[in-house]
């Protein structure tokens, strides 16, 4: 008899993670794979990282496939879903993690730059949510959809008017989808990370990192694994009565006083 609590066991579950080749996506993939889930890793451009992660999971005895797709187009989402069903015949958890976050001041932002960020960070989430929800309804066993939002969807950041707008919309889409899909047993939640440590961030944004470390109550950046743990909890039976929630994970940064 296993001593592992049932909510920590993902054997028999199929989990799709978009943007799986990135620093956060990889942490999410590893967390679910370590619990026995069969994984579909999506990537757009970083094929080598996705392939390495797939091989890592397989070598450790897990199940994984990697799929390239442009999720801002319906055909791309359909291809990812089809590949998942071909490999595993079902999908239980879909995590919308893929994103892009270029910096551009509002006065310099072109319509094309705006649209690209909206397409990747918002439109892809809508298309994916709609199509995987239809599949989950057809399966008749409910499911879980998780959206990686951001604290920038709650408070703007300089040079990120497009990104902040997209993430704010993702938070509201999460709530709307939770309301409409709840009767089918599909739970929809969002996770809004704060500043997460990743290679090169101190060099790329020294002033922002310094300000964060000086003012965030816990005085540190988050780790990708901490976001992955939150995703795992929300996808697990332990969160069976949680839907329509935006879980803020920012070391207390968003509770700083105005004055």
Q: What is the pLDDT of residue 158?
A: 85
Residue 32 CA to its chain's centroid (Å): 13
Residues of the chain with pLDDT under 70: 1-7
* Domains of the chain listed by start with CATH number: 14-246 (3.40.50.720)
CB distance 207 to 194 below 8 Å: no
Q: pTM of the prediction?
A: 0.94
Burial class (CB in 10 A: 0-12, 13-18, 19+), 164: buried
Q: What is the pLDDT of residue 203?
A: 85
Report, as residue numbers or ranges, the catalytic residues: 163
Both tokens of 124, joined, read: 């892809």
What CA–CA distance (Å, rounded) separates 29 from 41?
8
Q: What is the pLDDT of residue 207?
A: 83
CB distance 128 to 94 below 8 Å: yes
Q: What is the pLDDT of residue 200?
A: 86
Q: What is the pLDDT of residue 5?
A: 64
Strands ordered across the beta sheet of 143-148: 64-68, 38-43, 14-17, 93-96, 143-148, 186-193, 246-249
What CA–CA distance (Å, rounded) separates 166 from 114?
10
Both tokens of 58, joined, read: 């397989």
Q: What is the pLDDT of residue 4?
A: 57
**192 three-state secondary structure:** strand
Backbone angles phi, psi at 159, to 5 degrees: 80, 10
C-beta neighbour count of 243 within 10 angstroms: 21
Q: What is the pLDDT of residue 243?
A: 99
Q: What is the pLDDT of residue 1?
A: 41
What CA–CA distance (Å, rounded) separates 173 from 251?
25
Q: Which of 154, 45, 26, 28 is nearest to 100 (CA)?
A: 45
What CA–CA distance (Å, rounded) separates 122 from 96?
10
């Amino acid at each position: 008899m296993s001593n592992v609590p049932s909510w920590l066991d993902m054997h028999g579950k199929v989990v799709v993670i978009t943007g799986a080749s990135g620093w956060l996506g990889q942490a999410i993939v590893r967390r679910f794979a370590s619990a026995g889930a069969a994984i579909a890793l999506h990537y757009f451009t970083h094929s080598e990282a996705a392939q390495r992660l797939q091989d890592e999971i397989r070598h450790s005895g897990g199940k994984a496939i990697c799929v390239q797709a442009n999720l801002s187009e319906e055909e791309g989402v359909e291809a990812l879903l089809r590949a998942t069903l071909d490999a595993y015949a079902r999908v239980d958890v879909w995590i919308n993690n893929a994103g892009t976050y270029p910096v551009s001041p509002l006065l310099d932002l072109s319509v094309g730059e705006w649209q690209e960020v909206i397409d990747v960070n918002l439109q892809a989430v809508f298309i994916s949510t709609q199509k995987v929800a239809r599949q989950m309804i057809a399966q008749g066993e409910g499911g879980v959809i998780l959206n990686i939002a951001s604290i920038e969807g709650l408070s703007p950041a300089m040079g990120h008017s497009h990104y902040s707008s997209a993430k704010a919309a993702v938070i509201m889409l999460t709530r709307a989808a939770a309301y409409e899909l709840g009767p089918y047993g599909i739970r929809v939640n969002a996770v809004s990370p704060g500043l997460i440590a990743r290679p090169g961030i101190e060099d790329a944004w020294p002033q922002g990192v310094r300000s964060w470390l000086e003012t965030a109550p816990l005085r540190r950046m988050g780790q990708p694994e901490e976001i992955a743990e939150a995703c795992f909890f929300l996808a697990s039976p332990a969160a069976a009565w949680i839907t329509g929630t935006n879980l803020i994970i920012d070391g207390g940064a968003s509770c700083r006083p105005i004055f």
